């Protein structure tokens, strides 16, 4: 199993608005077959951190889902609202070993 974590460092004060958009991202991923997805907000550490975690059977499955979700018409509208709320982002991909 592959776990993909995408971490967004939000702009100061943007957490509330970003949280309202997260359900839309989750719905799009689920519509395209993702069974493991969750979103998390910081309690400690760097403030205004939002992390989305998704799980896939393989890297190939991740690539297929990425193409499908990014080309979904509803993703463009949602993404255009989300981008102005973000300072930086990064993606980490893990393989589950235990």
User: Does the pLDDT of residue 41 top 90, yes or no?
Assistant: yes
User: How many domains are there within the chain?
Assistant: 1
Helix, strand and coil in the chain, % to nearest 5: 45, 35, 20
- Please compute the mean of the pLDDT values over residues 37-43 and round it to a whole number: 95
Look at residue 80 and tell me whether its pLDDT is greater than 90. yes
Whether the pLDDT of residue 98 is over 90: the answer is: no
Other Cβ atoms less than 10 A from the Cβ of 61: the count is 15
Q: Is the pLDDT of residue 37 over 90?
A: yes
pLDDT band at residue 38, thresholds of 50, 70 and 90?
very high
Looking at the DSSP bridge assignments, the partners of residue 86 are: 10
* pLDDT category of residue 32 using cuts at 50, 70 and 90: confident
CATH of the domain at 90: 3.30.70.100
Host H or E run for residue 2 = strand 2-10
Which structural domain range is residue 40 located in? 2-95
Model confidence, pTM: 0.89
């Amino acid at each position: 199993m592959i776990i993909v974590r995408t971490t967004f460092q939000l702009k100061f004060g943007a957490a509330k608005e970003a949280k309202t958009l997260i359900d839309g991202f989750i719905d799009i991923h689920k519509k395209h077959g993702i069974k493991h997805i969750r979103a998390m907000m910081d309690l400690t550490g760097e403030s205004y951190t939002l992390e989305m975690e998704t799980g896939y059977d393989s890297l190939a499955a991740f690539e297929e889902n990425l193409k499908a979700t990014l080309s979904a018409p509803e993703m463009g509208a949602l993404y255009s609202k989300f981008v102005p709320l973000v300072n930086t982002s990064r993606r980490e991909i893990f393989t589950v070993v235990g």
